[in-house]
Amino acid sequence: MSMNESDKKTFDAIVIGSGISGGYAAMELCLKGYKTLVLERGRMVKHGEYPTADKDIWDLPNQNVVPHEEKEKHYFQQNRLNWWVHEDNKHWINKDSEYSYDEVKRFDWIRGHHVGGRSIMWGRHCYRWSDLDFEANKKEGLGIDWPIRYKDIEPWYDRVETFVGVSGQAEGLSQIPDGKFLKPFPLNCAEQYFREEVAKVYPERVVTPGRVANLSEYNPEVHKGLRGQCQSRSRCGRGCPYGAYFSSVTATLPVAEETGNLTLRSNSIVAEILYDKNSKKASGVKIIDAESKEEIEFSSKIIFCNASTVGTTAILLNSRSESFPDGLGNGSGELGHNIMDHHYGMGVYGEMPGFEDTYYKGRKPVGFYIPRFTNLNEKTKKESYLRGFGYQGQISRSRNNPSEVYGKELKDAILKPGPYRLFMSAFGEILPNHDNRMFLNFQKKDKYGIPTITFDAELRENEIEMRKDAVKCAVEMLEAAGCKNIGSFNSVTAPGACIHEMGTARMGNDPKTSVLNKWNQMHEVPNVFVTDGACMTSSGTQNPSITYMALTARAVDYADKQIKAGKL
């Protein structure tokens, strides 16, 4: 797939980024017959190149802990997130020392520059949006109205879920519509008990197996690429040698490669999208080779921007011309604004009594999920905040590690499992706000001459009030299930920490207030599409990646039809 020795400069389509949405765009374009160039700013990674995938903790330096000195030197902005960077995954995470950013207000930005992007590192939770999400802005008078509704994207959820392979359990809940599920990774005995006890007291709070892009069962006719069934090792964040979870390097890019239409160029930093004022379209892109620093231009009929929310918008802002002095397609002035994430760091933990004579097999890749249950209707309306939150958690048997015994007593004790312990954390919606933004500092450039990305965003009153209720509701559920030694936490995180960045190039009906139309097409530059998180108009409570993929498949289909009709 490498074209480093090729001098070809013209393609039917260019895709910027090889992560979750970029890989999907590449596959759909290649399957439709378009000669497609995928540009990835990071290094090449192929399936199987996962250096820590088969290592146990005792095989890793410092029992998987990155030394403080190393974090201070290379991960100084991410050092606030000590739980994130470890010896087993640090090779996937950008070093701040090599690619820093600035903050007016704190922003915790975790990036992975390599082929596959964060599709190698993601948490894999997949939940559909509903009209509760798509209609919220209009009903509440916030931001702008989404230009689509659930019916517009439903068939694309069907298509994407079937290919991706999402394990889950149908629950008939309107706020997270059921999908095309593989069999779920079932709740263990303690989690099932928790589900039943919570339902007795709070029937609107549904504890269900998490819906994840791990193959609980494998169908070679459907799950194309380099994939196999999940082995329940729970080492997903390192890269899976079995290809059991969905990623660009195991699924979409291999399928694209099989068509013969894919050209993948790694170490290619996209500096800007080139604009032709005569045709009023983008003519191609200019890249900087990360190794040689050579500037190269590539041409194409259409361009898909999938460099991640922040990466895509940084490229668009840097694509300045006489026609667009403030960034490509930025006549609305909204490019870079309305940045969102989910906020978390609030939740509970406790001990689940009983079940001492039970255990479970393997380390399944997901625990339980509790979908949003507040502000669904008048009955569940909250006066102190808008929107809501969901929970992700698990119950597992803890290690029995007594602190006051030694020798043979200690050896005997640690061979016996401890009690079941529950942990769950809330993921809350952040409202769209024009003042939450990112921008470029053109006076401060990196070694490639690229302006520095700067963040100016924060949690606001609605999020702060929501966090309090999320903790309160969580405690209530543990009490309902008879948990002991209940504790709670509410450590206010900065935007970015949840790694669900959204917004900055939002969809909308009006070109005066939005960057993209209902097809993820730029209002002002019709052959440029944005289908990563930058397109989002609100943030919902659900993990967003499956929605990005559905929007991507839909946008490619639209672009293809427009090209064949001679309209693009």
Q: List the beta strands (DSSP E) in 358-491.
A: 368-370, 389-399, 417-429, 437-445, 451-456, 484-490
412/436 Cα distance (integer angstroms): 55
Q: What is the pLDDT of residues 306-345, one digit of tens each?
A: 999 999 999 999 999 999 999 999 999 999 999 999 999 9
Domains of the chain: 6-165+246-341+433-457+501-568 (3.50.50.60), 167-241+342-429+459-493 (no CATH)
374/381 Cα distance (integer angstroms): 6
Q: What is the 3-state secondary structure (H, E, C) of 288-302?
A: EECCCCCEEEEEEEE
pLDDT score of 404:
80
The number of residues making up the chain comes to: 568
119/247 Cα distance (integer angstroms): 5
* Residue 198: both structure tokens together: 């919570």
CA nearest 25: which of 568, 562, 490, 551? 551
Enter the DSSP assignment of 419.
E
Amino acid in position 422: L
Which residues of the chain, if any, have pLDDT below 50?
1-2, 4-5
Q: What is the pLDDT of residues 173-197, one digit of tens each?
A: 999 999 999 999 999 999 999 999 9
CA nearest 17: which of 45, 37, 47, 46? 37
CA nearest 162: which of 471, 514, 559, 550? 550
375/173 Cα distance (integer angstroms): 14
* List of residues 6+ apart from 258 with CB closer than 8 A: none
This prediction has a pTM of: 0.95
DSSP string, 332-391: TS-TTBS-B-EEEEEEEEEEE---TT---SS--S--EEE---SSSSSTT--SS-SS-EEE
* List of residues 6+ apart from 545 with CB closer than 8 A: 20, 21, 122, 126
Enter the DSSP assignment of 183.
P
Residue 269 phi, psi dihedral angles, 5° rounding = -85, 115
158/164 Cα distance (integer angstroms): 10
pLDDT score of 7:
63
Residue 459 phi, psi dihedral angles, 5° rounding = -70, 145
pLDDT score of 417:
87
Amino acid in position 510: D
Contact 481, 352 (CB under 8 A): yes
DSSP string, 261-315: -EEEE-SEEEEEEEEETTTTEEEEEEEEETTT--EEEEEEEEEEE-S-HHHHHHH
